Amino acid sequence: MLREIVLDTETTGTDAKNGDRLIEIGCVELINHVQTGKVFHKLVNPTRPVSQGAFAVHGISDAMLADKPLFADIVDEFRDFCGDSPLVIHNAPFDVGFLNMEYARLGAAAPPPIDLADVVDTLQLARRKHTGAANNLDALCSRYGIDTTRRTKHGALLDAQILAEVYVELLGGKQTSLGLAMTEVEAVVVIGDGGEAVPVGPRQLRHRLSETERARHATFIATLGGGAVWSDYLGGEETA
């Protein structure tokens, strides 16, 4: 089972090194490139004003943040949600730079910084796949026919949900089987020796589940309630 966390942030401005702070984190869980519905979403009090330029982008005001927790108060919950799963971020240096700055402010209690080599940067994937084209999130949504009418302002959780859809398209298209009966995809992403995400393929992926894996999958689906469509994928052994 492949678990990934698609992440986006909003901030007081664009320069973490000169004092801008993180104000919103949105995370979406993917299992084998399918959104599970599990998310992490927090607004954070940055203890400094939001710049007018940033406010114009995300619409999050100082008043909206005044009673929100500090980053130090939510960092453990954030890290517990992410676990050891790879992060998927659009323009990863920006978000990782802000997260690592927030970590550094925690002093002795700081977790280890996030290594960009461990992050899948969808901007880099898009640039490889669509060389010379616009590859911001709006442009990619337009290219892949992803609906953004629900999005009047940037918001970390909504942008993470949209990015999750874009990410699947960058890998070759929507998959609905959770990978339990793996189908052919246009591109498979691997991490190269230098830490870069490299698209390869196409290839036909096959996976024969062990009884232990089936039991773990059944336990996971049970947490989603009786109407979970993924219960359809508990039966039937995959063909080799």
Q: Show the beta-strand stretches assigned E in the chain.
A: 3-11, 22-31, 34-43, 87-89, 119-121, 188-191, 197-200
Q: Phi and psi of 230, rounded to 5°?
A: -70, -10
List the structure tokens of 197. 């995400």
The residue from 33, 58, 90, 154 that is catalytic is 154
Which one-letter DSSP state was computed for residue 35?
A: E
Angle at alpha carbon of residue 52, lines to 26 and 50, rounded to 5°: 50
Contact 156, 137 (CB under 8 A): no
List the structure tokens of 8. 């986006």
Give the 3-state secondary structure percentages of the chain, helix then strand then coil, rounded to 5.
40, 20, 40
**Does the annotation mark 154 as catalytic?**
yes
Residue type, 213: E
Query: Would you put residue 173 in left (φ > 0), alpha (ψ -120 to 50) or beta?
Result: left
Q: Which residues are known catalytic residues?
A: 154
